[in-house]
């Protein structure tokens, strides 16, 4: 703390500028700091506001929501919109929730188990076609969804898989696989090679290296990739809307649209449903946040 160099430097500063100037400098620093905080506060407010607003809407009675002054801010709070959303139409919301959950879980599991093999190969082997393969996975992510949805619709329709959960999972795997491979490769690249080398000396096969060394060591990365694949399926809207047209097969993004009608949108119910869908995702996201950020920044600096 009090190394001679520091003392020297400070005394030098103190000599060069007088007390008054130093005071001004500090004032300036303080005002810059204040300015930074104000900007951060403003943007945090903007980031939270839409969510806060639908939370308020969800907690209000219909007549407070549909009033042409800011009545929404006064009056009583209640959970009746949430109860209505969860129980209406024989609890169809819970069926949508179940559909969404099954589809997202299966997509994530299938996708990550396939992708981790490929990512392991791309990370640890040099083989003919490796570069082209990686390039392909990058390129595929660029494809517009709307060009693929027509042939996919055609294929799924001719297989008789419209309105079926497995058709949707197939389509979601296709969209989640490429980024999962790239992401997992990034995580596998960070696992040091020395451990596997030692294991290979002890007679472990490549499959053993993959399952017993790579997977456990890259577990955080696998968790993040699972999360992203899950979220991709959980949030997907266009394909589900096109493939599913029976109410009992809807996923949440489609189901929530039933509250919207051209001239009579049930905003209070919409908001309640929106909050119910958002909360779990938000909690998991905040829990996994450090991992997600480190995972992404690794990927970003690599590419």
Partner 1 sequence: MEKAVEAKIIESSDQKILSDASNVTKKSSLSWTHALWQSRIAYVFVAPTVLVILLLVIYPLIQGIWFSFTDMNQFNMGSRFTSPSYEFIGIRNYLDVFTGAGTAFYQVLRQSIIFTFTSVFFHILIGLGLALLLNQKLRGRTLFRTLLLVPWAVPSFVSAFSWRWLFNAEYGFFNLVLKKFGYTQIEWLSDPFWAMFAVIITNIWLGFPFMMVSFLGGLQSIPESLYEAAKVDGAGAIRRFFFITMPMLRSVTFTVMLLGIIWTFNLFHVIYLVTGGGPFGMTDILPTYTYMEAFQRWEFGMASTYGVIILSLLIVFTNIYSRMVKSSV
Within residues 3-32, the interface with partner 1 by CB under 8 A covers none
1, 15, 19, 201: residue in contact with partner 1 (rule CB under 8 A): 201
Query: How far apart are the C-alpha atoms of 117 and 134, rounded to whole Å?
Result: 14
Site for partner 1 contains 195 (CB under 8 A): no
DSSP 42-96: HHHHHHHHHHHHHHHHHTS-HHHHS-SSGGGGSS---SHHHHHHHHHHHHHHHHH
2, 15, 144, 192: residue in contact with partner 1 (rule CB under 8 A): 144
22, 28, 30, 130: residue in contact with partner 1 (rule CB under 8 A): 130
The window from 18-26, 53-61, 79-87, 89-97 that contacts partner 1 (CB under 8 A) reads 53-61
Residue closer to partner 1, measured from CB, 249 or 267: 267
Site for partner 1 in 221-280 (CB under 8 A): 231, 234-235, 237-238, 242, 253, 256, 260, 267, 270-271, 274, 277-278
How many other β-carbons are positioned within 10 Å of the β-carbon of residue 212?
14
Min dist. Cβ of residue 94 to partner 1 (A): 17
The window from 11-19, 80-88, 216-224, 295-303 that contacts partner 1 (CB under 8 A) reads 295-303
30, 78, 157, 248: residue in contact with partner 1 (rule CB under 8 A): 157
Min dist. Cβ of residue 18 to partner 1 (A): 20
CA distances from 211 to 189, 193, 218 (A): 16, 15, 11
Structure tokens at 292: 């997600």
Site for partner 1 in 166-185 (CB under 8 A): 170-171, 173-174, 177-178, 181
In 3D space, the residue among 48, 44, 70 whose CA is nearest the CA of residue 57 turns out to be 70
Query: How far apart are the C-alpha atoms of 241 and 255, rounded to whole Å?
Result: 9
Query: How far apart are the C-alpha atoms of 150 and 148, rounded to whole Å?
Result: 6
Residue 251, CA atoms < 13 Å, CB-side half-sphere: 27
């Amino acid at each position: 703390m009090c190394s001679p160099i520091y003392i020297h430097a400070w005394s030098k500063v103190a000599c060069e500028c007088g007390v008054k100037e130093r005071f001004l400098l500090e004032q300036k620093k303080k005002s810059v700091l204040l300015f930074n905080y104000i900007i951060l506060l403003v943007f945090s407010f903007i980031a939270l506001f839409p969510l806060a607003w639908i939370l308020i809407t969800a907690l209000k009675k219909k007549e407070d929501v549909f009033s042409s002054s800011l009545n929404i801010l006064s009056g009583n709070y209640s959970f009746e919109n949430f109860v209505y959303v969860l129980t209406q139409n024989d609890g169809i919301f819970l069926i949508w929730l179940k559909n969404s959950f099954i589809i997202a879980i299966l997509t994530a599991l299938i996708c990550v188990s396939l992708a981790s093999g490929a990512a392991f190969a791309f990370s640890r082997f040099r083989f003919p076609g490796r570069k082209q393969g990686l390039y392909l996975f990058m390129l595929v992510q660029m494809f517009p969804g709307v060009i693929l949805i027509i042939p996919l619709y055609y294929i799924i329709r001719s297989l008789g898989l419209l309105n079926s959960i497995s058709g949707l999972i197939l389509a979601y795997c296709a969209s989640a696989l490429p980024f999962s491979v790239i992401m997992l490769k990034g995580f596998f690249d960070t696992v040091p090679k020395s451990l596997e080398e030692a294991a290979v000396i002890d007679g472990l096969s490549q499959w053993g290296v993959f399952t017993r060394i790579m997977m456990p060591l890259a577990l955080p990365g696998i968790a993040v990739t699972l999360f992203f694949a899950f979220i991709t399926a959980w949030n997907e809207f266009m394909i589900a809307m096109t493939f599913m047209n029976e109410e009992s097969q809807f996923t949440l993004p489609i189901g929530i649209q039933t509250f919207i009608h051209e001239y009579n949108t049930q905003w209070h119910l919409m908001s309640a449903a929106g909050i119910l869908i958002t909360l779990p995702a938000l909690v998991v996201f905040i829990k996994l946040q450090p991992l997600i950020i480190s995972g992404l920044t690794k990927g970003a600096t690599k590419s």
